[in-house]
C-alpha cells in the first residue's frame, strides 16, 4: 500500500502515536520541507509493530516518548527504510531520541538527516541496548548535533548485530555525562561493523571515545575515513575496551593511545583541514576538505575495493588520481581558483552607448573636413587670387 501525502503539516493533538501493523507500506511525502509529520511534543511520532515500511521525502519531528524512540520506534522483526527523510527535534526518556529499533529488526537510512534529537541513552539512532539480531545500515546521510543526556552515545549506536555506515557525516554529537560522542560499536561474536568513507568530527564526550568507541569484542573495520577533531576525557578520537580497530586509509588528528589500531601502515595522523558543516548545495550537510588537505587523493584501494563510486553528495569518485578520504570529496583547485578569481574580479560592464543625436557629434568627426578647408584657403591665399577667395567665403 502506498500512502501519498501532499505539502502539509500533520500534527497529533490527541494522545497516541501513528501505529503501523503489518503489510508493506510506502509513505510518500512531497519533500522534506513540505510534508512534516509532527508529534506536537505530546507523543512518539511513529510506532512500527510489524511489516515493512518505506518512508520517503518527508520530515518526522517533535516526537516525545516517555520510553524509547522519540521519532520512530521500529519494534521486533520490522523492516524500515528511510529515503530522503529528516528526523529532527525528537526526544525520548529512554533509548533513541531520533530512531530506535527492537530485536531482529532492520533499519536502513539513505540520503537522510538525523539531527538535533536527544535521549537519555542514544541521542540519534540505534537499537535498544542488548537487543539481538539487529541490522543497521546508514548511507549518504548526516547524523549531527544529537545528544545523549545520561550516557551511552550521542550520535549512533551500532547494536550487537550487523552495522555498516558509508559516505556519511557524524558531526557535533554530544554525550555530556559519560558515554561516547559520535559512534559506539557494541557488536560482539556473530556481529559485524564496517565504517567506509565516513567523516567523524567535532563530537564530544565526557567519558570515552569522542569520535568512535568499540565496547565489545568485535574489531570494527574503518576504511578511508576521517576521525579527527573530536574530544573526550579518555581517547579524544577513538577508544576500545577489548577490541582492536582495523584501519585502511584513516586520517586521525589526535591521540591514538586508546584506539587499539591494527594495520596502521595505512593510518596517518594529520590535520584533515575540513571546512564547516554546511550543505554546499547538497541535500545533507558535510565537511568539505579544503585545498591542500592531506585527505585528497589519499584513499587506499581506489577504484578497486574500498573506494565508493560516489561520495555523500553524489559526486563521482575518484575526482583526481585517487579517491579522497572521508564522506565528501574536495573541490579541485582549478575549479575553485577560477571561481574565486571570478568572484574577486567581476566582469566590468560595458559603458552604455549614448543615443544618436545629430546635434552632438564626437569632436573628431569634423576635423578632416576642417583641415581640407584650411588647406584650400591657404592655397588660394598663396597664389593671390583674391576674387576666388572672396567667392569661396561667400559660397559662390
Q: How far apart are CA 294 and CA 251, in angstroms?
A: 9
CATH number of 2-332: 2.160.20
Q: Is 355 exposed, middle or buried (0-12, 13-18, 19+ CB in 10 A)?
A: exposed
pLDDT in tens, 157-204: 998 899 999 999 999 999 999 889 999 998 777 789 999 999 999 999
Region 35-64 average pLDDT: 96
Q: 338 in helix, strand or coil? A: helix
Contact between 189 and 218 (Cβ < 8 Å):
yes
Q: How far apart are CA 46 and CA 90, in angstroms?
A: 11
pLDDT in tens, 310-338: 999 999 998 878 899 999 999 865 544 44
Task: Select the more confidently predicted residue: 253 or 160.
Answer: 160
Domain residue extents for the chain: 2-332
Phi–psi pair at 388, nearest 5 degrees:
-65, -40
Q: 170 in helix, strand or coil? A: strand
Query: What pTM did the predictor assign?
Result: 0.82
Q: How far apart are CA 319 and CA 322, in angstroms?
A: 7
Weakest mean pLDDT among 52-56, 183-187, 317-321, 365-369: 365-369
Whole-number Cα distances in Å, 38 to 73, 97, 332: 15, 14, 41
Which residue's entry shows cell 516518548? 65
Region 104-126 average pLDDT: 98
Residue 146 has pLDDT above 90, yes or no: yes
Contact between 90 and 106 (Cβ < 8 Å):
no
**CA angle, 36 as apex, 34 and 42 as ends, to 5°?**
160
pLDDT at 384: 47
pLDDT in tens, 199-229: 999 999 999 999 999 988 788 999 999 999 9
Q: Cα 75 to the chain's mean position, in Å?
A: 28
Amino acid at each position: 500500500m502506498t500512502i501519498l501525502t501532499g505539502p502539509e503539516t500533520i500534527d497529533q493533538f490527541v494522545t497516541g502515536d501513528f501505529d503501523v501493523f503489518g503489510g508493506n507500506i510506502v509513505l510518500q511525502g512531497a519533500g522534506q520541507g513540505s510534508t512534516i509529520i509532527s508529534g506536537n511534543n505530546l507523543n512518539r511520532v511513529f510506532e512500527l509493530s510489524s511489516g515493512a515500511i518505506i518512508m520517503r521525502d518527508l520530515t518526522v519531528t517533535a516526537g516525545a516518548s516517555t520510553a524509547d524512540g522519540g521519532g520512530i520506534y521500529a519494534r521486533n522483526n520490522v523492516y524500515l527504510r528511510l529515503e530522503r527523510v529528516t528526523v529532527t527535534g525528537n526526544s525520548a526518556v529512554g533509548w533513541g531520541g531520533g530512531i530506535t529499533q527492537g530485536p531482529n529488526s532492520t533499519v536502513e537510512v539513505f540520503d537522510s538527516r538525523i539531527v538535533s534529537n536527544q535521549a537519555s541513552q542514544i541521542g540519534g539512532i540505534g537499537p535498544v541496548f542488548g537487543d539481538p539480531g539487529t541490522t543497521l545500515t546508514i548511507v549518504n546521510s548526516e547524523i549531527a548535533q544529537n545528544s545523549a543526556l545520561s550516557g551511552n552515545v550521542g550520535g549512533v549506536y551500532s547494536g550487537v548485530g550487523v552495522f555498516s555506515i558509508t559516505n556519511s557525516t557524524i558531526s557535533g554529537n554530544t554525550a555530556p555525562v559519560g558515554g561516547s560522542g559520535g559512534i559506539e560499536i557494541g557488536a560482539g561474536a556473530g556481529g559485524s561493523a564496517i565504517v567506509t568513507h565516513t567523516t567523524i568530527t567535532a563530537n564530544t564526550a565526557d567519558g570515552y571515545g569522542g569520535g568512535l568507541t568499540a565496547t565489545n569484542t568485535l574489531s570494527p573495520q574503518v576504511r578511508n575515513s576521517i576521525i579527527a577533531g573530536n574530544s573526550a576525557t579518555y581517547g579524544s578520537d577513538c577508544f576500545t575496551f577489548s577490541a582492536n580497530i582495523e584501519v585502511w586509509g584513516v586520517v586521525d588528528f589526535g591521540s591514538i593511545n586508546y584506539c587499539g589500531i591494527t594495520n596502521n601502515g595505512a593510518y596517518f595522523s594529520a590535520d584533515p583541514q575540513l571546512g564547516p558543516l554546511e550543505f554546499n548545495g547538497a541535500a545533507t550537510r558535510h565537511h568539505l576538505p579544503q585545498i591542500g588537505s592531506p585527505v585528497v587523493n589519499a584513499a587506499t584501494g581506489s577504484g578497486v575495493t574500498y573506494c565508493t563510486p560516489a561520495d555523500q553528495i553524489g559526486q563521482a569518485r575518484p575526482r583526481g588520481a585517487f579517491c579522497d578520504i572521508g564522506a565528501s570529496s574536495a573541490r579541485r583547485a582549478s575549479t575553485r581558483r577560477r571561481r574565486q578569481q571570478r568572484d574577486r574580479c567581476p566582469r566590468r560592464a560595458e559603458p552604455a552607448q549614448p543615443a544618436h543625436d545629430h546635434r552632438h557629434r564626437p569632436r573628431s568627426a569634423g576635423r578632416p573636413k576642417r583641415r581640407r578647408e584650411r588647406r584650400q584657403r591657404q592655397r588660394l591665399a598663396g597664389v593671390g587670387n583674391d576674387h576666388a577667395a572672396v567667392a569661396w567665403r561667400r559660397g559662390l
